Copies of this chain bind each other. A is one copy, B any other.
Amino acid sequence: MDRTSKVKMVTAATALGMFGAAAAIAQDKYALRTPSGIAFSDFKGYEDWAVISSARTDEVLKVIVGNSVIVKAYKAGIPGNGRPFPEGSKLVKLQWKPKKSTEAPFVVDVPDVFSQAFVMEKNSARFPTTGGWGYALFNYETASDKFTADPSPADCGHACHVAVKGKDYIFHPYQKR
């Protein structure tokens, strides 16, 4: 190996190392897929989706957003009109751990750190045994700034949502605003 080749190899290795470091910093969360086969990329763009509803427990502040398919369906009266949500309907429940605001002039809980994206998608061919809905959970850790696909059966997925089968498995109505 001549000197030029060695320099090229070192340069290439350094470039790979830098690339690896960059990859560690900026995760491609959309490459994630649950063991059950739900890809996070099915929900690409959810960051900018419109609000469906909100909720809160002692543990989390929640905002439920939906893609244009389900928002249009809600506005057309589904599921109150007895019709099911159309194929391609997608929901993401954004969940943050709360903290007390130290800035507001009144007592108010605000998001501390993001903890989870709970997702649902309607695809009757793919999910025939669960009312046509697929459920998954993508967890987020602030320390590593990384999402992971939850390997367990989706937290409170079909087993919970079957309680509202009459509303096509969705608890929340499209909230007035």
The interface residues of chain B lying within 8 Å CB-to-CB of A57 are 106-109
Does A177 sit at the interface, judged by CB under 8 A?
A: yes
For the complex, give the distance between the alpha carbons of A59 and B41 in Å.
37
Contact size range, A: 35 or more
Could you give 25 example pairs across A and B, Cβ below 8 Å?
A46-B177, A47-B50, A49-B51, A51-B51, A51-B63, A51-B65, A53-B111, A54-B54, A54-B94, A54-B110, A55-B111, A57-B108, A94-B175, A94-B177, A96-B176, A103-B164, A104-B160, A104-B171, A105-B156, A105-B160, A106-B156, A114-B175, A117-B177, A140-B176, A142-B176
**Residues on A close to B: CB < 8 A?**
46-51, 53-58, 61-63, 65, 71, 94, 96, 98, 101, 103-111, 113-114, 117, 140, 142, 156, 160, 163-164, 171-172, 175-177
